[in-house]
Amino acid sequence: MIVDLRSDTVTRPSQEMRAAMMSAEVGDDVYSDDPTVNSLEDRVAKLFGKEAAIFTPSGSLANQLAIRTLVKPGEELICESNSHIVRAELGAGATFSGITTRTWSANRGMLAADEALELARPDSGPYLVSTTAIAVENTHNFGGGTVQPIDEIKRLASTANSMGVKLHLDGARIWNAHVASKVSLLEYGKYFETVSVCLSKGLGAPIGSLMISTKERVTTARVWRKRYGAGMRQVGILAAAGHFALDRNIERLEDDHARAKKLAIACNSIVASTVNPAEIETNIVGLDLTGSSWNAGEFAVKAKESGVWVGALGPKYVRLVTHLDVDDAGIEKASAVLKDLLERAFMSK
């Protein structure tokens, strides 16, 4: 048995999801003629209290469409230093939209409104870069699945609004944040001008994200989606998977969260410094291998040899992500393998 904990993007559609895809009604989405896509866009927009949404093949594209509607070339987006937009989208904002960025650093990516607002410099005149948007990632991927405090989001939104600065929510894993915090999707949505959400991570669809905002911004985003080469045709077969995922796979995220906690407890029992189980809120576990005799790459290779696949995302940082394709038996196997490896890595020094 292989236990793949590299990411929640590795899930495969169930037979029931495949059946829903096979029976989807389709049309040409470039002409807005695909009824399954249209209904998915309308459904997701309403979940967050917004006017419209646009279906995209990736979360990165959904983010990029959002921020280019908020920030003009030469203007500034600010976000946390390990956020996906600045660390994992390969400079797309600068490459395609002429957007400059500045960042603040936060422990585990946890939002503190004051830290973001201290950086913001709107209306800076002709000689300095003006801040026009702030991006918040919830949950924070490289922070270890951190759920952003709703009170800090409220504070950020209140002051940013008075400054004329717009907010973007990178909600690739907002479903996890919603389930863990019990904060409604409508509540999250009302503080942000634009939102991106992903269907192909914890919800288990094979592909698909959406950018959500006003009708005007989404209309602009449609032009840029086509310009970027992401106009899709009979894509209702993928949108049907999104509908299925929304119907079936949101509440079950609690299982992923509980299993991530089990992994963290198992690893902590061998080397306490690797992870604090109390900080595991959702489905991501980050292991700190500082002080071990192996680097993250070596650890990942040895884990794979034992049938457990993990992500080496830094010299001494290993990421484990639970998802719907990993059951309790998989967690038991992964826990045993990881405990053995940690003991060898730290005790052999």
Whether residue 3 is contained in a domain is answered as no
- Closest by CA to 296, choosing from 270, 324, 320, 263, is 320
**Residue 265 maps to which CATH number?**
3.90.1150.10
Domain extent for 45: 11-248
Q: Are strands 209-213 and 311-314 parallel, antiparallel or unpaired?
A: unpaired
Q: Please check whether residues 256 and 244 belong to one and the same domain.
A: no
Q: Please check whether residues 243 and 294 belong to one and the same domain.
A: no
Conformational region of residue 247, where left means phi above 0, alpha means psi within -120 to 50, and beta covers everything else: alpha
Q: Please check whether residues 54 and 163 belong to one and the same domain.
A: yes
Query: Looking at 221, 248, 275, which one is the last position of a domain?
Result: 248
Q: Please check whether residues 21 and 147 belong to one and the same domain.
A: yes
Whether residue 159 is contained in a domain is answered as yes
For residues 5 and 308, what is the distance between their CA atoms, to the nearest angstrom?
7
Whether residue 131 is contained in a domain is answered as yes
Ordered per-residue pLDDT tens for the chain, 349 residues: 899 999 999 999 999 999 999 999 999 999 999 999 999 999 999 999 999 999 999 999 999 999 999 999 999 999 999 999 999 999 999 999 999 999 999 999 999 999 999 999 999 999 999 999 999 999 999 999 999 999 999 999 999 999 999 999 999 999 999 999 999 999 999 999 999 999 999 999 999 999 999 999 999 999 999 999 999 999 999 999 999 999 999 999 999 999 999 999 999 999 999 999 999 999 999 999 999 999 999 999 999 999 999 999 999 999 999 999 999 999 999 999 999 999 999 986 5
Q: Please check whether residues 331 and 288 belong to one and the same domain.
A: yes
Cα dist from 70 to 37, 167, 172, 291, whole Å: 24, 8, 18, 43
Whether residue 6 is contained in a domain is answered as no
Number of domains in the chain: 2
Residues 119-174 have pLDDT tens digits of 999 999 999 999 999 999 999 999 999 999 999 999 999 999 999 999 999 999 99
Which token pair is 67? Answer: 């921020």
Whether residue 287 is contained in a domain is answered as yes
Q: Say what the pLDDT of residue 349 is.
A: 52
Whether residue 182 is contained in a domain is answered as yes
For residues 238 and 36, what is the distance between their CA atoms, to the nearest angstrom?
9
Q: Each residue of 42-74: b (16+ CB within 10 Å) or e? A: eebbbbbebebbbbbbbbbbbbbbbbbbbbeee
Q: Please check whether residues 34 and 142 belong to one and the same domain.
A: yes
Tell me the three state secondary structure of residue 239.
helix
Instruction: Round to the nearest angstrom and report the end-to-end CA distance of the chain.
Output: 30
DSSP state of 308: E
Q: Please check whether residues 175 and 257 belong to one and the same domain.
A: no
Question: Cα dihedral sign for 330, 333, 337, 339?
Answer: positive
Q: Please check whether residues 185 and 278 belong to one and the same domain.
A: no
Q: Please check whether residues 263 and 235 belong to one and the same domain.
A: no
CB atoms within 10 A of CB 272: 10
Query: Looking at 248, 273, 297, which one is the last position of a domain?
Result: 248
Whether residue 2 is contained in a domain is answered as no
Whether residue 343 is contained in a domain is answered as yes
Q: Each residue of 143-181: b (16+ CB within 10 Å) or e? A: bbbbbbbbebbebbbeebeebebbbbbbbbbbbbbbbbb
Q: Please check whether residues 219 and 289 belong to one and the same domain.
A: no
CB atoms within 10 A of CB 16: 10
Q: Please check whether residues 95 and 160 belong to one and the same domain.
A: yes
The per-residue DSSP string of 265-290 comes to: HHHHHH-GGG--GGG--SSEEEEE-T
- Closest by CA to 125, choosing from 75, 54, 191, is 75
The per-residue DSSP string of 138-167 comes to: SSBTTTTSBPPPHHHHHHHHHHHHHHT-EE
Cα dist from 215 to 111, 133, 223, whole Å: 29, 19, 13
Query: Looking at 224, 248, 272, which one is the last position of a domain?
Result: 248
Which token pair is 211? Answer: 């950018």
**Residue 174 maps to which CATH number?**
3.40.640.10
Q: Please check whether residues 56 and 195 belong to one and the same domain.
A: yes
Check if the beta carbon of residue 163 is closer than 8 Å to that of residue 134: no
